[in-house]
Structure 1
Amino acid sequence: MTAPQGRTPPPAAPVDRTGAVAKVVRVVEAITEHSGVSEISRSTGLSTSTVHRIIQELVALGWVRGDGEHGYLPGVGLLTIAARADFEAGMPVIEPILKGLRDATTHTVHFALRQGDLAVYVAKIEGLRAYEMRSRIGLAIPLHSTGIGKALLAGLPEAEVRAVLERSGMPPMTPRTITDPDAMIQHLHTVSRRGYAIDDEENEEHTRCIAAVVRDHRGAAIGGISMSAMAFEIDQERAQQLAPLVMTAARNVSQALGHRISGELPVAPRAR
């Protein structure tokens, strides 16, 4: 919007770089390069007590993770914001990948990003079948009972996985839900080894999903791609046919978000 002719717009107000918000921003920026309070203090010019107070507030909000002994790193909150920004920027490339997976399988495709101890659907491509999935963009889903959630958990360090499982309580969503942390850890080893997760009616009865992890430019597990169908449509043999297609889609989305991947992933024939 331009100012009326003959009238000069007022100058922008100067930014107070000593204010509380500016200090938080400086600390957040420094955390991406430095891990310790002393290093962050030197980098920002703020006192160690100020840095420590700000970091503790950021840790409580989930924006920063770690402790004073081992240093600090960007937390789920910051990574989620970055992932959403990457997703929006990459959507012109990502959407055709999701539609391609839907066309190859005829089933509904979801893309979800991690948000704390949950994952949130940010894209959904409806399947070509006569029925529709009840899922919707913006819906938050558990990590322990969904294909995307388990694919994501399999990409995290075990200590972080156990912390997530403890906080969530692993409630049974169906009689098939894994509710024991040790059993889940063993299950995730299988997921990691084969490269994909299956939600075998664990989140909703009569629904089966195949999912693979999505990583960002740092290599961090930030979400996943899933293909969902009625359980009777995907038996073990069919799952093995479809899984490489899901893994390829997740791999391509990861690359669209800047993740560098070495090696080739075998791709199954188009399986409609």
Structure 2
Amino acid sequence: MGLTRHIKNSKNEFAQQTRTLRMVQSRVQSVDRALGLLWAVYRSPGSSLSELASTAELLPSTALRLLATLQRHDLIERDPQSRGYRIGPAAQVLAGGRDPDHQRISDALEPRLRILAERAREQATIGVIDGRSHVHIAYVDGAVTAGHAVILRPPETSRNSNLNATAIGKVLLAFAPPAQAETLIRQLSFDRTARRTITDPDELRRHLTVVRRNGYATSVNENSDDVRGIAAPLRDTTGEVVAALSINGPAGRFPRDRIRELVPLLCHAAEECSRLLGYRT
């Protein structure tokens, strides 16, 4: 009786080990396939789902699931117009491939960015145009030191293609060379992501005229109903706008009177940052 029980337990243990081994092998296989897709995107940027699935010899449904995981971690991104895939900002950060000009701006302005964040008691960032999107190249969260309970997630690797909806995006569009701005506007998807998202190109063009006149942009229930922001342009020695300075915060801490209170602080900081970049009026 004892021998029978021992044999039965041994069989159960073996079966459990076999199942565990298969699970581990399946997970390793998924990692291997995902890395293969990442390399395929790197070698052929702009490839479609079907092209990547064919290259990796995977079913489209399997490839889509793995690509979605890579996209969730910002290792790849999908162009909203062509629907093709390309390497994402997180992969570029891991590879150490940061643009030297962006690094120069970040290094020069980080101390001033920290002062702005502490005075605003909110998140302060610097954003630049990268392809059809804007990316953050520097970030300080003054809400942490202010003891606020609600803290925005770090945006270091975040890429936002809603140039029509974010304060940074609207500043970069408004002060870009007209031909470049028009090209970018034609490429925007104008997806509605919040209650007041600008979804019409002509309305956006009119709005950008106001941004240029005011010297700053706001985003209130445009990119997100939960986060609001303001941004102002940063100029270099040539006088061209090379980046945008922003203050962002949760909607609950950013009513319109708070925005009006922070605009002078933001614009003054942007002027100081521009001087640090060599701009002279």
- Per the normalisation by structure 2, the TM-score is 0.59
Which residue does 1:96 correspond to in 2? 111
Asked whether the 8 Å contact 1:86–1:257 carries over to 2, the reply is: no
The answer to whether structure 1 residue 252 and structure 2 residue 252 are counterparts is: no
Deviations along 1:178-218, one digit per CA (max 9) or x if unpaired, are 01111011111111111110011211222110111122222
- SS of residue paired to 1:188: helix
Which residue does 1:222 correspond to in 2? 242
| Cα gap change, 1:88 to 1:205, in 2 (>3 Å) | same
Which residue does 1:123 correspond to in 2? 138
**Contiguous gaps of at least 5 residues in structure 1:** 1-82, 263-272
Which residue does 1:133 correspond to in 2? 152
Match of 1:165 among 185, 196, 199: 185
Q: Equivalents in 2 of 1:172, 1:196: separation in Å?
A: 22
Q: What amino acid does structure 1 have at the position aligned with 2:124?
A: V
Deviations along 1:214-234, one digit per CA (max 9) or x if unpaired, are 222222222211101111322
Moved more, 132-141 or 97-106: 132-141
- SS of residue paired to 1:240: helix
Say which structure is richer in helix: 2
Q: Equivalents in 2 of 1:223, 1:94: separation in Å?
A: 11
Match of 2:124 among 109, 127, 140: 109
- Within a 5 Å distance, the mapping from 1:1-272 to structure 2 comes to 84-89=99-104, 91-128=106-143, 129-142=148-161, 143-260=163-280, 262=281
Give me the CA root mean square deviation. Answer: 1.9
| Cα gap change, 1:153 to 1:91, in 2 (>3 Å) | closer
Q: What amino acid does structure 1 have at the position aligned with 2:188?
A: S
- SS of residue paired to 2:126: strand
Q: Equivalents in 1 of 2:102, 2:184: separation in Å?
A: 24
> Following TM superposition, by how much is the alpha carbon of 1:120 offset from its aligned partner in structure 2, in angstroms?
0.8
Q: Equivalents in 1 of 2:262, 2:204: separation in Å?
A: 23
Asked whether the 8 Å contact 1:162–1:181 carries over to 2, the reply is: no
> Following TM superposition, by how much is the alpha carbon of 1:90 offset from its aligned partner in structure 2, in angstroms?
5.0
**Contiguous gaps of at least 5 residues in structure 2:** 1-97
Asked whether the 8 Å contact 2:219–2:230 carries over to 1, the reply is: yes
Deviations along 1:20-78, one digit per CA (max 9) or x if unpaired, are xxxxxxxxxxxxxxxxxxxxxxxxxxxxxxxxxxxxxxxxxxxxxxxxxxxxxxxxxxx
| Cα gap change, 1:171 to 1:97, in 2 (>3 Å) | same
Which residue does 1:54 correspond to in 2? none
Q: What amino acid does structure 2 have at the position aligned with 1:215?
A: R
> Following TM superposition, by how much is the alpha carbon of 1:86 offset from its aligned partner in structure 2, in angstroms?
4.0
Moved more, 229-238 or 136-145: 229-238
Pick the structure with greater CA Rg.
2
Asked whether the 8 Å contact 2:106–2:137 carries over to 1, the reply is: no
Q: Equivalents in 1 of 2:261, 2:218: separation in Å?
A: 13
Which residue does 2:38 correspond to in 1? none
Q: Equivalents in 2 of 1:217, 1:141: separation in Å?
A: 27
Q: What amino acid does structure 2 have at the position aligned with 1:208?
A: R
